[in-house]
Structure 1
Amino acid sequence: MAGSDPTVLDQAAQWLKDGRQVALATVIETWGSAPQPVGSQLVIDADGNFIGSVSGGCVEGAVVTEAIDIISSGKPKTLAFGVADETAWKVGLACGGKIRVYVEPLGA
């Protein structure tokens, strides 16, 4: 993937090996001004620790919060952030960019 970082996937593998519950967030679509390209990734554990980046801004905090819920539920989810969204200013995308992030639990 163009924006993927091998250290993110290495960290995910290590956390899984250590017995941690983990989710992987991947930018799957961007429009306009987006801080990270499609394929950028963020790995999150159940305690909210994370490595990588899907936005470089406050979107990361929202993704981490959602990822913790996704780890608990075991169900993947696609998140959308953008200027048309009421949370655009709060998450830092007031510049007009929009992104979609797919968050999936890893492991069993």
Structure 2
Amino acid sequence: MLDRDEDILKAAESWAEAGKGVALATVVETWGSAPRPAGSGLVVNEDGTFLGSVSGGCVEGAVVTEALDVISSGAPRMLEFGVADEAAWTVGLSCGGRIRVFVEKVV
């Protein structure tokens, strides 16, 4: 399984070298019962292919969607998901914790 940090970065490098737009999402902060620790990462290419995890599956779909927007715009985003946030229930983060994820374009 390719989900170690070095595998994620190698995939990002490979996709970028192939001319694809790429974004990297990183968990920068957690509170409470968070599914993945700070430093966890996910890489996404312009086709929507992704590798890694920022939430163990809870919010990956929403992060991938945001990452595609970051690839298009070039503007980084800070995302926050938590049980108190109405969007958290929509994307499935109901573990009781909160996570903050920074998404940036790989240049």
- 1:79-90 matches, within 5 Å, as 79-90=79-90
1:51 — aligned with what? 51
2:18 — aligned with what? 18
1:78 — aligned with what? 78
- Bigger mean CA offset, 78-87 vs 91-100: 91-100
1:93 — aligned with what? 93
1:66 — aligned with what? 66
Q: 1:57–1:91: 8 Å Cα contact kept in structure 2? A: no
Q: 1:24–1:106: 8 Å Cα contact kept in structure 2? A: yes
Scaled by the length of structure 1, the TM-score of the pair is 0.92
Q: Percent identity?
A: 65
Scaled by the length of structure 2, the TM-score of the pair is 0.93
| 4+ runs deviating over 6 angstroms | none
Q: Is the partner of 2:27 in helix, strand or coil?
A: strand
Between the aligned partners of 2:59 and 2:32, the Cα distance in structure 1 is 16
The answer on 1:9 being equivalent to 2:32 is no
Unaligned 5+ runs, structure 1: none
Q: 1:58–1:90: 8 Å Cα contact kept in structure 2? A: no
How many residue pairs get matched?
104
Q: Is the partner of 1:100 in helix, strand or coil?
A: strand
2:30 — aligned with what? 30
Between the aligned partners of 2:21 and 2:95, the Cα distance in structure 1 is 34
What is the aligned-residue RMSD (CA, Å)? Answer: 1.0
What amino acid does structure 2 have at the position aligned with 1:104?
E
Aligned-pair CA distance for 1:47: 1.1
